[in-house]
Amino acid sequence: MKFHPHSLLVMFALLLGASCSHSPAKVDTGRFEQRELQVEGAVHRYQVFVPSREAGGRKPAVVLFLHGSGERGTDNQRQIEVGLGPYLRQHMADFPAIVVFPQAKAGQSWSGATARMALAELDASVREFNGDDDRIALTGISRGGYGVYELALMEPQRFSALVPVCGGITQPGIKEPLQVDGVAGAPDPFVAAAQRLQHLPMWLFHGGQDDVVTPDQSRHMVEAMRRIGGNVRYTEFAQAGHNAWDPAYATADLWPWLFAQER
Q: What is the pLDDT of residues 9-26, one digit of tens each?
A: 545 444 445 444 444 555
Q: At the fourth CATH level, which superfamily is domain 27-260?
A: Alpha/Beta hydrolase fold, catalytic domain (3.40.50.1820)
Q: Quick one: how far is CA 208 from the chain centroid?
A: 22
For residue 184, pLDDT over 60 is answered with yes
What count of other Cβ atoms lies within 10 Å of the Cβ of residue 130?
A: 15
- For residue 202, list its beta bridge partners: 162, 232
176 near 167, Cβ under 8 Å? no
User: What would the mean pLDDT of 67-83 be, rounded to a whole number?
Assistant: 98
For residue 2, pLDDT over 90 is answered with no
- Give the integer Cα–Cα distance in Å for 158 and 148: 12
